[in-house]
Amino acid sequence: MKSICILIVSLLLLSISTLAQTFEISGQFRPRAEYRHGYKSLIADDVDPAFLISQRTRLNMNYTSKLFKTSLSLQDVRVWGDVSTTNKSDLNGIMIHQAWGELFVTKNLSLKAGRQVINYDDQRLFGAVDWLQQGRSHDALVVKYSPDEKLSMHIGLAYNQSADKDTGNFYTLVNYKALQYLWTHYEGENLGISFLFANNGMPQNTTEDGTTVQKTRYSQTFGPYITYKTRNLKLNLSGYLQTGKNAKNAKKSAFFASGDLAYSLTKQLSAGAGIQFLSGNSQVDPDTKDHEFSTLYGTGHKFNGWMDYFYAGSSHLGVGLLDIYLPVIYKRNKLTTEIQIHYFSAAADVKVVTSPSSAMSSGLGTEADIMLTYTFSPEMSVSSGYSQMFGTETLQAIKGGNRKNTQNWAWVMLAFNPTFLKSEK
Mean pLDDT of 112-135: 98
Q: Cα–Cα distance between 401 and 373 in angstroms, integer?
A: 32
What is the domain count for the chain? 1
With 80 as the cut, is the pLDDT of residue 6 above it? no
Mean pLDDT of 129-156: 97
| Coil, strand or helix at 9 | helix
With 90 as the cut, is the pLDDT of residue 80 above it? yes
With 70 as the cut, is the pLDDT of residue 3 above it? no
Q: Cα–Cα distance between 346 and 318 in angstroms, integer?
A: 9
Nearest alpha-carbon partner for 316 in 364, 275, 271: 364
With 60 as the cut, is the pLDDT of residue 11 above it? no
Do 75 and 58 contact (CB within 8 A), yes or no? yes
The residue among 248 and 6 whose pLDDT is bigger is 248
Quick one: pLDDT band at residue 1, thresholds 50, 70, 90?
A: very low
- Of the candidate ranges 18-22, 115-119, 181-185, 272-276, the one whose mean pLDDT is the lowest: 18-22
With 50 as the cut, is the pLDDT of residue 366 above it? yes
Q: What is residue 199's predicted lDDT score, i.e. its pLDDT? A: 98
Please list the residues that pair with 1 across neighbouring strands: none
Q: What is residue 313's predicted lDDT score, i.e. its pLDDT? A: 86
Q: What is residue 96's predicted lDDT score, i.e. its pLDDT? A: 97
Do 137 and 311 contact (CB within 8 A), yes or no? no
Q: Cα–Cα distance between 173 and 178 in angstroms, integer?
A: 12
Amino acid making up residue 362: S
In degrees and rounded to multiples of 5, residue 336 shows phi and psi of: -120, 130
Do 302 and 311 contact (CB within 8 A), yes or no? no
Quick one: pLDDT band at residue 19, thresholds 50, 70, 90?
A: low
Quick one: pLDDT band at residue 209, thresholds 50, 70, 90?
A: confident
For the stretch 319-342, pLDDT in tens is 999 999 999 999 999 999 999 999
Q: Cα–Cα distance between 247 and 59 in angstroms, integer?
A: 36
Mean pLDDT of 225-243: 97
Q: What is residue 4's predicted lDDT score, i.e. its pLDDT? A: 47
Average pLDDT value over all residues in the chain: 94
Mean pLDDT of 68-97: 93
Residues in the chain: 425
Kind and range of the H or E run holding 325: strand 321-332
Detail the DSSP E strand segments found in 138-294.
138-145, 151-159, 178-187, 191-208, 211-229, 233-244, 254-264, 269-278
Quick one: pLDDT band at residue 89, thresholds 50, 70, 90?
A: confident
Please list the residues that pair with 31 across neighbouring strands: 55
Mean pLDDT of 66-75: 97
Rounded to 10 degrees, the C-alpha dihedral 69/184/116/71 comes to 20
For the stretch 375-419, pLDDT in tens is 999 999 999 999 999 999 999 999 999 999 999 999 999 999 999
Q: What is residue 91's predicted lDDT score, i.e. its pLDDT? A: 85
Mean pLDDT of 287-294: 96
DSSP string, 47-67: ---EEEEEEEEEEEEEEE-SS
Q: What is residue 92's predicted lDDT score, i.e. its pLDDT? A: 84
Residue 110: domain span: 2-424
Torsion over CA: 349, 350, 356, 360 (sign): negative
Q: What is residue 8's predicted lDDT score, i.e. its pLDDT? A: 46
Query: What does each C-alpha distance from 4 to 63, 77, 84 come to in angstroms?
Result: 21, 19, 21
Mean pLDDT of 166-184: 96
Mean pLDDT of 271-284: 98
Do 75 and 115 contact (CB within 8 A), yes or no? no
Do 235 and 251 contact (CB within 8 A), yes or no? no
Q: Cα–Cα distance between 47 and 257 in angstroms, integer?
A: 37
| Coil, strand or helix at 406 | coil
Do 313 and 298 contact (CB within 8 A), yes or no? no
Q: Cα–Cα distance between 415 and 327 in angstroms, integer?
A: 24
Quick one: pLDDT band at residue 17, thresholds 50, 70, 90?
A: very low
CATH number of the domain that 35 lies in? 2.40.160.100
